[in-house]
Amino acid sequence: LKDLITFTCILIGSFLMISFGHLVSISLISYIKGIFSASLPHLVENLSKNCLCYATPYAAGGILMQAALGLQYGMVFGVALAFIIGIYFPINLPLFILITTFAGCLEMVHVKSRTSYVKAGANVSVTGFAYTFAVGLVGFSGNYYELGLSLASALAGGLLCAFVVAGVAPIIEHLGGYVTDMTLLEIATLDHPLLKQLSVQAPGTWNHSMVMGMMAESAAQAIGANPVLARVSCYYHDIGKAKNPLYFVENQSRGENRHDKLSPSMSALIIRSHVKDGIKLAREHKIPEPVIDMIPQHHGTSVIEYFFEKAKKEAEESKEGEEVDKTLYTYPGPKPQTKEAGIIMLADGIEAAARTLTEPTHDRIQGLVQKMINKVFASGQLAECELTLRELHEIAKCFTRVLTGIYHQRVAYSEPAEKGGEQQDKKGQETRSSEERQHKGKAKEHGERASHGEPSKKGKNGEKKKEEKKEDLKRLGI
């Protein structure tokens, strides 16, 4: 209903603006004729009263609809406006309105900042100029002055579009409660106080959020969701962790875990609190509501499995044998309500899990991505966000591609050969046999120690790393 009201209001406003512009253009032509009728009668006497009509910013309404509600709304608006103008005005404007509106809306798809309004206006100017020039040549009456005025008015119309949209868009955002891509991009800058705070106090979380942003943006673009909202929401989804950063695994040093000194229920309480803290911080800094909504939704109603299992184990070992309250280890929700929220939930778990892979090859990453998506889907967390199986397949492909590009294994290059003359080559040939004998002796000695059960340092380190990876995977619920 809100979108329909906005559409209707902008349509009525555009019609009134065009009516006013039409009256102004006719008045200007009459004024020009009155001034130059004596000095340049051969130029102005045959001027059409509609030759300045293209200066009206016809495409402004469509660009506003595209900015507020998306490309489809902008296109539909252009068609509706062209139809209405074709009925009420006798001049040939509907095709001009359609072409320029589509040109402006398509330019706004690649929105980067507020200057995109200027680019959209410039695109409208160029398109309108080309259309006017083509129509002017087809029906050319021999009056170059009239053709020049028509072309100049087409250029002016595009620039007026940029000014009108830049001035009216913030009003529509405020009154209608819309969050445009422009607004989102303004808070996506890494100079934002919250992102600065996160990068300093929780660098691991910050890095995790940046990688998630790339994953979510790629996936959202592939399935037709809003890539800007997905990326910016990833930047802010875990800002609550800045309050107690060392209680989250991505910010902990190896061998240091503050949860070892806490009970499972206390650990779960601290983990869950980052959602509430994040919402509070976001509201204090006036972050848009669609981004704030992602903070609780990206966890949904999932269980903090690591500490829940730990609590159950402790309860079984204790003499009292009390039943563990699962609600103490469950996020409050709600489940993801939009496709963007569902993408962020998947990206959150998958990116964290990908960091634990010892050898992140393409096949291993692909297997992990598929496993994690299947797990979240089976748990019912995606039931309310309308993601289809086809879209989940596309998301998996995007995640795999991005993660493979980031965590791929580097090729191990051999050390460069030492420079030397023929003397060194001869020396090397003489010493090679003795080195081989020594190597065989050492290999034999090592084999004897291994057979007697004496572990090597390399083996110990390998086992330790494997245990650490297993522990991380348990915490992630994998």
Question: What would the pLDDT profile of 198-244 be if each residue is shown by its tens digit?
Answer: 999 999 999 999 999 999 999 999 999 999 999 999 999 999 999 99
What pLDDT does 471 receive?
55
Domains identified in the chain, total number: 2
Give yes or no for residue 447 having a pLDDT over 80.
no
Q: Are 83 and 193 in the same domain?
A: no
Among 178, 213, 247, identify where a domain stops. 178
Q: Are 221 and 308 in the same domain?
A: yes
Q: Are 124 and 231 in the same domain?
A: no
Q: Are 243 and 330 in the same domain?
A: yes
Query: Which residue shows structure tokens 């250029």?
Result: 155
Q: Are 174 and 207 in the same domain?
A: no
- Per residue in 172-197, pLDDT (tens digit) is 888 888 888 888 988 998 889 999 99
Domain that holds residue 244: 184-407
Least confident of 158-167, 251-260, 414-423: 414-423
Q: Rounded to an integer, what is the distance from CA 260 to the centroid of its chain? A: 36
What pLDDT does 420 receive?
44
Among 161, 178, 195, identify where a domain stops. 178
- Per residue in 368-421, pLDDT (tens digit) is 999 999 999 999 999 999 899 999 999 999 999 999 999 875 544 454 444 444
Q: Are 241 and 355 in the same domain?
A: yes
Q: Are 393 and 262 in the same domain?
A: yes
Q: Are 230 and 379 in the same domain?
A: yes
Q: Are 336 and 389 in the same domain?
A: yes
- Whether 364 maps to a domain, the answer reads yes
- Whether 356 maps to a domain, the answer reads yes
Whether the CB-CB separation of 304 and 280 falls below 8 Å is answered with: no
3-state class of 303 per DSSP? strand
Give yes or no for residue 95 having a pLDDT over 80.
yes
- Whether 433 maps to a domain, the answer reads no
Q: Are 116 and 233 in the same domain?
A: no
Least confident of 51-55, 81-85, 156-160, 464-468: 464-468
Model confidence at 150, in pLDDT bands (50, 70, 90)?
Answer: confident
Q: Are 114 and 193 in the same domain?
A: no
Structure tokens given for 11: 């349509």
- Whether 18 maps to a domain, the answer reads yes
Give yes or no for residue 80 having a pLDDT over 90.
yes
- Whether 195 maps to a domain, the answer reads yes
What pLDDT does 91 receive?
66
Cα distance between residue 1 and residue 452, in whole Å: 79
Q: Rounded to an integer, what is the distance from CA 157 to the centroid of its chain? A: 33
Partners of 330 in the β-ladder:
303
Least confident of 150-159, 397-406, 438-447: 438-447
Mean per-residue pLDDT, 350-366: 91
Q: Are 250 and 114 in the same domain?
A: no
What pLDDT does 61 receive?
93
Q: What is the DSSP letter of 299?
A: T
What pLDDT does 373 receive?
97
Mean per-residue pLDDT, 48-71: 86
Give yes or no for residue 6 having a pLDDT over 60.
yes
For residue 30, the domain's CATH number is 1.10.1760.20
What pLDDT does 405 receive?
92
163: nearest Cα among 53, 26, 63, 28: 63
- Whether 437 maps to a domain, the answer reads no
Cα distance between residue 391 and residue 301, in whole Å: 22
Higher pLDDT, 472 or 288: 288
Higher pLDDT, 91 or 137: 137
Give yes or no for residue 254 having a pLDDT over 80.
no
- Per residue in 112-137, pLDDT (tens digit) is 677 788 889 999 999 999 998 988 88
Give yes or no for residue 425 having a pLDDT over 50.
no
Among 407, 442, 461, identify where a domain stops. 407
CB atoms within 10 A of CB 183: 20
96: nearest Cα among 109, 108, 110, 86: 86
Cα distance between residue 252 and residue 234, in whole Å: 21
Structure tokens given for 166: 């830049």
- Whether 455 maps to a domain, the answer reads no
- Whether 469 maps to a domain, the answer reads no
What pLDDT does 464 receive?
52
Cα distance between residue 354 and residue 368, in whole Å: 7
For residue 195, the domain's CATH number is 1.10.3210
Cα distance between residue 69 and residue 350, in whole Å: 31
Model confidence at 454, in pLDDT bands (50, 70, 90)?
Answer: very low
